[in-house]
Amino acid sequence: MAHPPAPSPMLAKAVTSLPDPASVVGGLGYEPKWDGFRGIVSFDGESVEISSRGAKSLTRYFPELVEAFGSQLTEPCVIDGEIVVRRGSAGAERLDWDALSQRIHPAASRIRSLAEETPASFIAFDLIDRDRESLLETPFADRRGSLEQLLSTAVAPLHLSQLTLSVEVARRWLVDFEGAGLDGVVAKPLSAAYAPGKRVMLKVKHHRTADVVALGYRVHASGEGVGSLLLGLYDHTGELRSVGGASAFTAARRLELVAELDHAVMRSADGAVVRGEGERSRFSSGKDVSFIRLEPTMVAEVRYDQMEGSRFRHTVQFYRWRPDRDASSCTFDQLETPVAYDLGDVLS
């Protein structure tokens, strides 16, 4: 029996600070914001289907989760949550985005080995359907209570996300939990129905600025202007290392950037533009990843949320040029390092 299509997940709107519960009729609940793959899990009593935020099937990539759901769930249900991968020893665990992203692999043999080498966990935070009864119109507070009942005996790799009604506790989470690899806090109206595809929830993420060196740029897919700006920082040995990129420029801004960057474009002795070859992955197979090299002289101030190892975790936002800064001063030392926090304490 085929599973019916999973509903689109309810989304969150970004805000700059955690709202007070009194600001929303019915109050707010606060949860950690997990940095993983959103997953809608459908269990019909016999089989399991895991759908992504974009309605793509993730089932084949996480056989260990399919097994866990099949053995631990006791009745048909549809659960909303996040798929994550944990790394590190007890007392020093954190989320591992790179390991999680590697789980999406075309080869069945590789999927099986990765399921053993980097097993995934599922963090449940909402319940959409229980025993074939839709909970879409049910207030979140009641959905949460039902989810707690459903998962009362759940064990790893299935977990129930923490929830607090205290904004003071949530503000502490915003600081502490970043050290475990989480990227913010979500506020949920306790009286709200589940609204597929609607931004009913509120999210606060970490936002910081850094001064980085412009290493090069890729031409936009339209063939006009800067599509993405490649960025770098100097490490402790003096080596300039790639740390990610900035994109999402308007059409007008893409053209302006070409003019602003022109004087820094590397050229050969005969005046030809020097191009570089970007990093390839299975996701960029067949895609042009070449870029136009720039002399490492221009400094940009960018906004970012967090680091994943020595790279920006997400594409950063270009803010402004910093002609007052010397490129050599753009080092990793300027980046704020979160205090380490054990992921096991977040999941407990």
- Predicted pLDDT of residue 340: 75
Structural class in CATH, domain 11-205: alpha beta
CATH number of the domain at 208-334, please?
2.40.50.140
- Map out the domains of the chain as residue ranges: 11-205, 208-334
List the pLDDT tens digit at each of the 348 positions of the chain.
Answer: 567 778 899 999 988 899 999 999 999 999 999 989 999 999 999 999 999 988 899 999 999 999 999 999 999 999 999 999 999 888 889 999 889 989 999 999 999 999 999 999 999 999 999 999 999 999 999 999 999 999 999 999 999 999 999 999 999 999 899 889 888 999 999 999 999 999 999 999 877 788 999 999 999 999 999 999 999 999 999 999 999 999 989 999 999 999 999 999 999 999 899 998 866 444 444 566 789 999 999 999 998 888 877 888 888 899 889 887 889 989 988 886 677 778 888 887
- Predicted pLDDT of residue 167: 97
**Catalytic member of 13, 33, 56, 287:** 33
Same fold, 11-205 and 208-334: no
- Predicted pLDDT of residue 3: 73
Mind spelling out the 3-state secondary structure of the chain?
Answer: CCCCCCCCCCEEEECCCCCCHHHCCCCEEEEECCCCEEEEEEECCCCEEEECCCCCECHHHCHHHHHHHHHHCCCCEEEEEEEEEEECCCCCCEECHHHHHCCCCCCHHHHHHHHHHCCEEEEEEEEEEECCEECCCCCHHHHHHHHHHHCCCCCCCEEECCCECCHHHHHHHHHHHHHHCCCEEEEEECCCCCCCCCEEEEEEECCEEEEEEEEEEEECCCCCCEEEEEEEEECCCCCEEEEEEECCCCHHHHHHHHHHHHHHECECCCCCECEEECCCCHHHCCCCCEEEEECCCCEEEEEECCEECCEECCCEEEEEECCCCCHHHCEHHHCCCCCCCCHHHHHC
- Predicted pLDDT of residue 283: 42
- Predicted pLDDT of residue 42: 97
Active site residue 33: yes
